[in-house]
């Protein structure tokens, strides 16, 4: 099976992507402690191989730029 270029060499399987996410959360705990339900959905999409980590970050950054509802 050819590697998926969307993911790095250490993140080809869902198990590997889950490990990568845990490592990212260990380095930056706010990825876990401040994760909204939307962020958790994006993380699940990353683990499932539907989104790259870059796509997850773009989506999260776009949400942060939205004005807060009052």
Q: Domain residue spans in the chain?
A: 14-65
Classify the C-alpha dihedral 23-28-33-34 as positive or negative. negative
DSSP codes joined into one string, 47-63: HHTSS-HHHHHHHHHHH
Which pLDDT band holds residue 69 (cuts at 50, 70, 90)?
low
Please name the residue ranges forming H helices in the chain.
Answer: 14-27, 30-33, 37-48, 53-65
Q: Give yes or no for residue 70 having a pLDDT over 60.
A: no
pTM: 0.86
In tens, the pLDDT along 16-65 reads 999 999 999 999 999 999 999 999 999 999 999 999 999 999 999 998 88
């Amino acid at each position: 099976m050819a590697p998926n270029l969307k993911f790095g060499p250490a993140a080809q399987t869902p198990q590997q992507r889950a490990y990568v996410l845990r490592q990212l959360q260990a380095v930056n705990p706010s990825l876990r402690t401040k994760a909204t339900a939307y962020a958790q959905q994006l993380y699940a999409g990353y683990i499932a191989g539907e989104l790259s980590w870059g796509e997850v970050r773009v989506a999260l950054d776009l949400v942060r730029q939205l004005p807060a509802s009052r």
